[in-house]
């Protein structure tokens, strides 16, 4: 089974081809990504109109490159998958229309993919793990703890009531005069800093429901920064280190609580999976690795290129769905909001 996957929900334009040989392991035949970061950086965040325009300008060439790199023609495909949400509507429309047009022109089945489902299923592409597992999805737009029970079967155990983790990194970076996106810069400065110089709160720690709240922590960083201003390099490093240490503690605590709920409701998970751009953070990875080994859990962190937005995860989700006979009509409408767990109460923040 071979699938083209198209991703345009945020600031990455991406197209990829994934192949699943009969009885074998999936292979990524191509994975083309155009990151728009440099176009948004001057504005300190993603500008929806700029994103939509950049998707329009690049998607055709990316699809062609993905097909060329895979060495395939459209007739070699078994289906075409495109992310249909959640995300910025202008961008979602570009990828969704491209996917539909290709499906119409080639007569291939079309799969409208939930971008969050694609993040959730990536660990099955990279590590071939079984259902069920606990997913920690941490990016600029999402912070969720999800029980992944099967294709289309998700239970949200927790999420953020305010900022996403990546967003908190980005806002703290901005406060400290570091460039956008801030996560990698905060991490780099933190390496040199003293994580104990500033006593920052660990919001929600110990709460029985595995939700996150990060705006109070962000405010605490701002107050700490104001108290020592003007900031020198050491102050910035110490603030970054103290902030990151608080985030690691919060994440590990929230995951521990989610894991307890998971076991009560669904039994033993096959793994703890971490996905999203923030999964690149080494301190967070190490914190989770310590927790997982103590709890006797397998920790799966897909390679960075597959943790951040990409087309391979969309193509793979297309395969997971197509092989269950789950295809979509060409009248499928873009969904700016599209929660994975429809039973869960809506949260005001985030793309879901
Ligand atoms: O998944 P992603 O590429 O895009 C979406 O938000 O969907 O995630 C980007 C986010 C940004 O907020 C960025 O600051 C954060 O991930 N990030 C990091 C690191 N690398 C990226 N946060 C902390 N540490 C990092 N090393
Ligand atoms: Zn994403």
Rounded distance, CA 39 to CA 87, Å?
18
What is the Å distance from ligand 2's center to 12 Cα?
9
Provide mean pLDDT across the span 6-25: 96
Identify which of 57, 67, 80 has the alpha carbon closest to the alpha carbon of residue 31.
67
**Confidence band, pLDDT 50/70/90 cuts, at residue 45:** confident
What is the Å distance from ligand 1's center to 168 Cα?
10
Query: Hey, what are 249's tokens?
Result: 């503690």
* Per-residue pLDDT at 352 exceeds 50: no
* Per-residue pLDDT at 342 exceeds 90: no
At 346 the pLDDT is 74
* Per-residue pLDDT at 348 exceeds 80: no
What is the Å distance from ligand 1's center to 125 Cα?
21
What is the rounded average pLDDT for all residues in the chain? Answer: 95
Question: Which is the closest atom of ligand 1 to the Cα of 280?
Answer: 26
Tell me what percent of the residues of the chain surpass a pLDDT of 90: 91
* Per-residue pLDDT at 180 exceeds 80: yes
* Per-residue pLDDT at 345 exceeds 80: no
Contact 274, 138 (CB under 8 A): yes
Provide mean pLDDT across the span 225-250: 98
Tell me the three state secondary structure of residue 257: helix
Q: Which region among 33-42, 304-313, 343-352 has the lowest average model confidence (pLDDT)? A: 343-352
> Each residue of 257-275: pLDDT tens digit?
999 999 999 999 999 999 9
**Confidence band, pLDDT 50/70/90 cuts, at residue 344:** confident
* Per-residue pLDDT at 350 exceeds 70: no
* Per-residue pLDDT at 349 exceeds 90: no
Rounded distance, CA 137 to CA 148, Å?
11
Tell me the three state secondary structure of residue 13: strand
* Per-residue pLDDT at 23 exceeds 80: yes
**Confidence band, pLDDT 50/70/90 cuts, at residue 57:** very high
At 257 the pLDDT is 98
What is the Å distance from ligand 1's center to 165 Cα?
8
Could you tell me the pTM of the whole model? 0.93
CA atoms within 13 A on the CB side of 264: 7
> Each residue of 99-153: pLDDT tens digit?
999 999 999 999 999 999 999 999 999 999 999 999 999 999 899 999 999 999 9
Residue in 136, 169, 180, 277 to alter for ligand 1 test, most ligand atoms within 8 A of Cβ? 277
**Confidence band, pLDDT 50/70/90 cuts, at residue 351:** very low
- Ligand 1 neighbours, Cβ below 6 Å, are 10, 139-141, 166-167, 169-170, 181-184, 187, 276-278, 280-281, 308-309
At 44 the pLDDT is 84
Please, what are the domains in the chain?
2-125+309-322 (3.30.420.40), 130-297 (3.30.420.40)
Identify which of 140, 179, 169, 137 has the alpha carbon closest to the alpha carbon of residue 154.
137
């Amino acid at each position: 089974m071979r699938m083209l996957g198209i991703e345009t929900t945020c600031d990455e334009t991406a197209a990829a081809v994934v192949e699943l040989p009969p009885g074998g392991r999936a292979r990524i035949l191509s994975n083309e990504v155009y990151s728009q970061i440099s176009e948004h950086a001057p504005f300190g965040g993603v500008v929806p109109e700029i994103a939509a325009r950049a998707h329009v300008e690049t998607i055709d060439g990316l699809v062609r490159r993905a097909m060329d790199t895979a060495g395939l023609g459209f007739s070699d495909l078994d289906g075409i998958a495109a992310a249909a949400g959640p995300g910025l509507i202008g961008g979602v429309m570009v990828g969704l229309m491209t996917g539909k047009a290709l499906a119409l022109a080639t007569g291939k089945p079309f799969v409208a993919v939930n971008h969050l489902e694609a993040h959730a299923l990536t660990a099955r592409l990279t590590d071939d793990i079984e259902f069920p597992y606990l997913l920690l999805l941490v990016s600029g737009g999402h912070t969720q703890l999800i029980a992944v029970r099967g294709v289309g079967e998700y239970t949200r155990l927790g999420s953020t009531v305010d900022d996403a983790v990546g967003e908190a990194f980005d806002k703290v970076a901005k406060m400290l005069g570091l460039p956008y996106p801030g996560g990698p810069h905060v991490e780099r400065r933190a390496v040199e800093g003293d994580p104990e110089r500033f006593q920052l709160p660990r919001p929600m720690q110990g709460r029985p429901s595995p939700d996150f709240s990060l705006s109070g922590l962000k405010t605490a960083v701002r107050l700490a920064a104001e108290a020592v201003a003007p900031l020198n390099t050491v102050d910035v490093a110490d603030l970054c280190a103290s902030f990151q240490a608080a985030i690691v503690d919060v994440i590990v605590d929230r995951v521990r609580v989610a894991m307890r709920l998971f076991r009560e409701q669904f039994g033993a998970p096959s793994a703890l999976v971490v996905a999203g751009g923030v999964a690149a953070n080494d301190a967070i990875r190490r914190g989770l690795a310590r927790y997982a080994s103590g709890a006797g859990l397998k920790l799966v962190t897909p390679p960075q290129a597959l943790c951040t937005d990409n087309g391979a995860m969309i193509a793979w989700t297309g395969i997971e769905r197509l092989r269950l006979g789950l295809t979509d009509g060409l009248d499928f409408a873009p969904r700016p909001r599209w929660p994975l767990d429809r039973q869960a109460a809506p949260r005001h923040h985030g793309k879901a």
